[in-house]
Amino acid sequence: MKKKILYAEDDKTLAFLTSDSLEQLGYEVSQHENGRSAIDAFQKSQFDICILDVMLPIMDGFQLAQEIRKIDQQIPIIFLSAKTLKEDRIKGLRLGADDYLVKPFSIEELNLKIEIFLQRSNKTQMLDPESYNLGKLLFLPKKYLLETSNESISLTQKESDVLLLLAKNQSLVLKREEILVSIWGDDDYFMGRSLDVFISRLRKKLKHDDSVSIENHHGIGFQLIVSEN
């Protein structure tokens, strides 16, 4: 079955060229020229990944991502934008996006990011344990959930990927470069800032149990610690 992409882009020429290229690569693409049309489609159908331009009419890409996250915390979201300011990239990640691609981009680069997300999702579903006990928290990587005794906390796919890597190596210090290459496939400056954003998001969600923490070893990497009560 073809993987289905929700693609929101108001530049008609770029939208046509990108959609056509992705369809030739074997994807099913649902293309929309504004955020309202895109969220309406998302509410009516199942998608495997979302590719969103930031500067959309009616509802911009940032707002669209927020609406998508209200419905689905797990689906990968990739932003496309001509904006190159790191503040815009960080804003997109904080709103729940998993990656950010600056225009102009090549279809090969976009397809590589799509493949990485879809392959990682399949591997998580097929190979990883059903759960990890992290103090009083139960981490369910296949469901992208953290569970407490009375609450389920949703994770995005990228949050789950980072936490899974840390959980597999609990109490070990993982180098930043190792995490970046494993999760993002690269270790450049922007990816490093992206990792910091996801670590911050995970720390907020792990606060439900004070015995669980992600320690930053400056200049080295991160360590998941579960203290004994």
Domains of the chain in start order, with CATH, are 4-123 (3.40.50.2300), 129-226 (1.10.10.10)
| Model pLDDT, residue 189 | 63
| Segments of the chain scoring below 50 in pLDDT | 126-127
| Model pLDDT, residue 194 | 83
| Model pLDDT, residue 90 | 77
Q: How far apart are CA 160 and CA 150, in angstroms?
A: 20
| Model pLDDT, residue 126 | 47
Token representation of residue 204: 């907020």
| Model pLDDT, residue 178 | 86
| Model pLDDT, residue 13 | 96
| Model pLDDT, residue 108 | 94
- The terminus-to-terminus CA distance of the chain in angstroms comes to 48
